[in-house]
Chains A and B, each alone.
Chain A
Amino acid sequence: MALVSLALAVLRRDLLAAARRGSEWSNPLVFFVMVCALFPLGIGPEPQRLAELAPGILWVVALLASLLASDTVFRSDYDDATLEQMLLSHQALYPQVIAKTLAHWLLSGLPLSLLSPLLGVLLHLPAAGMLALMASLALGSAVLSFIGAIGAALTVGLRKGGLLLSLIILPLYIPVLIFGSSAVKTAVDGGPFLPQLAMLGVFFLIALALAPLAIAGALRISVDQ
């Protein structure tokens, strides 16, 4: 019980801090919208072609937005030494790391998924795919947040972490991208997309169980150096 209340306290703190600084969570959303708007300009405005490409475009751009956002998971806490206090305290790191990652997902992945139908309309995604798009993005971005947090924890101590973070994290994102975009494509074709969502759920549970170990270890390394 103590662990749950510890996690809730960290979650509350992170959400409160984000509410006071707006731009941190709104920037990835603006990025998502802007990059999606670039695609029709790049490949042409024909609705049919856009509709065909929309599931892939939306998922890849959402993935990039999540990647961009993941740099901020531990950045400000590292800069003002909150992270050091977290490691020095006698509280278990595991629930704190889960709470921080979930807070990050609430601020980046969830808004992306809520915003995605709007962009789906812009890219002429058929209405049948909307629910699958939102559900797969909501679940998939949680996995992306956990994987991204591993990379963020590894690079938070480095001055130039940004591009490096993408290099080490992007290959690990691939399974999520495969199943996420496949869920949307299947839904557009009228097929059942629950199997793909179930797979994303499996990835989420694996990430929830194992990623905090890697994140906690990586944070110790980054703060110790």
Chain B
Amino acid sequence: MSIWTTFHKWGSPRWFYQFSGRLLPWLGGLSLLLLIGGAVWGLALVPPDYKQGNSFRIIYVHVPASAVAMGAYMMMAIAGAIHLIWRMKLAAMVMKAIAPIGASLTFLALLTGAVWGKPTWGTWWVWDARITSVLILFFLYLGVIALHQAFENREAAAKACAVLVIVGAVNIPIIYWSVEWWYSLHQPASIRFIGESSIHPTMLRPLMATMSGMYLFFAWAMLLFTRTEILDRERNTRWVQDIVCSGDKKPESRSVL
């Protein structure tokens, strides 16, 4: 099978719907297992930090959320580029699906960061380079969502968002680097940041678990959102009507969605 056949297969919403339907329970189950397992491990079994006590435990939500939030934007940009270059409709649906998930995860990262900052640094918010960059990332996500909602025509919305997302992706390194530079010009804050010190393996292992759990959760949510979008967009096709009709007769098959 050549790469183009694979590409065309992936571009077919119907094939993707059926394929992702088989994938969903695995992704969902595994991510639930890893997130709950990692949370119990991190919250109950890992000894408290010698300096921060128990407050460091929010790391098991904060770090995975920030990492996935950043990766999600790049993925959104790649999906946007694929849509613009090869006109793959599915890529546009994936791009649209990622935006709200990425925005929520970025918000979660900012929120948990603030909650963590209060006991550690004594303040909810610091204009630190990394925090500021994540805040700007949050704004970029909100812009993409707002632009998508403003269009009535779906095709135009997808293409416009793809352009914006790519422009944003080109800008992210510039923004990140500018903010780093801006921060280094300010006088150093009186509080010390952790992160320079390496993290102890006993704390790292549950972090790895929640981190992979968060990635799987992202994949699961993305597939779920994309599937909803597929059903909505292809609602006039035969196969979607078949699914919806059979769903009415057999309520148990609805639980997949």
Tell me the complex Cα distance, A222–B160, Å: 8
B182 proximity list for chain A (CB < 8 A): 178, 182
Q: Is B163 in contact with A214, judged by CB distance below 8 angstroms?
A: yes
Known A214-B166, A221-B159: A160·B151 in contact at CB below 8 Å:
no
B94 proximity list for chain A (CB < 8 A): none
Residues of B125-172 at the interface with A, using a CB-CB cut-off of 8 Å, are 136, 139-140, 142-144, 146-147, 150-151, 153, 155-156, 159-160, 163-164, 166-168, 170-171
- Most chain B CB atoms below 10 A, which of A167, A169, A224: A167
Tell me the complex Cα distance, A203–B181, Å: 15
B138 to chain A, nearest CB (A): 9
Tell me the complex Cα distance, A106–B6, Å: 50
Known A160-B150, A217-B163, A218-B160: A178·B143 in contact at CB below 8 Å:
no
Query: Besides the contacts A164-B150, A214-B163, what 14 more A-B pairs have beta carbons closer than 8 Å?
Result: A154-B147, A154-B163, A155-B150, A160-B150, A167-B143, A167-B147, A172-B171, A172-B175, A214-B166, A218-B160, A221-B156, A221-B163, A224-B156, A225-B151
A121 within 8 A of B: no
Main secondary structure of the interface of B (DSSP, over half): helix
A168 proximity list for chain B (CB < 8 A): 143-144, 146-147, 164
Q: Is B179 in contact with A178, judged by CB distance below 8 angstroms?
A: yes
Residue of B nearest to A168 (CB): B143
Q: Is A172 in contact with B168, judged by CB distance below 8 angstroms?
A: yes
The interface size of chain A toward B, counting residues with CB under 8 Å, comes to: 29
Tell me the complex Cα distance, A155–B147, Å: 8
- What residues of chain B have their CB less than 8 Å away from a CB belonging to chain A? 84, 136, 139-140, 142-144, 146-147, 150-151, 153, 155-156, 159-160, 163-164, 166-168, 170-171, 174-175, 178-179, 181-182, 185
A174 within 8 A of B: yes
Q: Is A203 in contact with B174, judged by CB distance below 8 angstroms?
A: yes
Tell me the complex Cα distance, A167–B168, Å: 13
Q: Is B150 in contact with A221, judged by CB distance below 8 angstroms?
A: no
Residues of A173-194 at the interface with B, using a CB-CB cut-off of 8 Å, are 174-175, 178-179, 182
A185 to chain B, nearest CB (A): 9
Tell me the complex Cα distance, A171–B181, Å: 17
What are 22 A-B interface contacts by the 8 Å CB criterion?
Answer: A154-B160, A154-B163, A155-B147, A155-B150, A164-B150, A167-B139, A167-B147, A168-B144, A171-B136, A171-B143, A172-B175, A174-B175, A175-B171, A175-B174, A182-B185, A206-B174, A214-B166, A217-B163, A218-B163, A221-B160, A224-B156, A225-B155
Q: Is A175 in contact with B175, judged by CB distance below 8 angstroms?
A: yes
B238 to chain A, nearest CB (A): 28
Q: How many A-B residue pairs have CB under 8 A?
A: 76
Tell me the complex Cα distance, A164–B175, Å: 21
Q: Is B178 in contact with A175, judged by CB distance below 8 angstroms?
A: yes
Tell me the complex Cα distance, A217–B156, Å: 11
Tell me the complex Cα distance, A56–B225, Å: 42
Q: Is A158 in contact with B151, judged by CB distance below 8 angstroms?
A: yes
Residue of A nearest to B161 (CB): A154
A164 proximity list for chain B (CB < 8 A): 146-147, 150
Tell me the complex Cα distance, A210–B166, Å: 11
A126 within 8 A of B: no
Residues of A193-225 at the interface with B, using a CB-CB cut-off of 8 Å, are 203, 206, 210, 214, 217-218, 221-222, 224-225
A149 to chain B, nearest CB (A): 11
Q: Is B136 in contact with A174, judged by CB distance below 8 angstroms?
A: yes
B97 to chain A, nearest CB (A): 19
B181 proximity list for chain A (CB < 8 A): 178
Tell me the complex Cα distance, A161–B149, Å: 12
Task: Please pick, from A150, A155, A175, A224, the residue contacting B167 in the complex, using a CB distance under 8 A.
Answer: A150
Q: Is A174 in contact with B143, judged by CB distance below 8 angstroms?
A: no
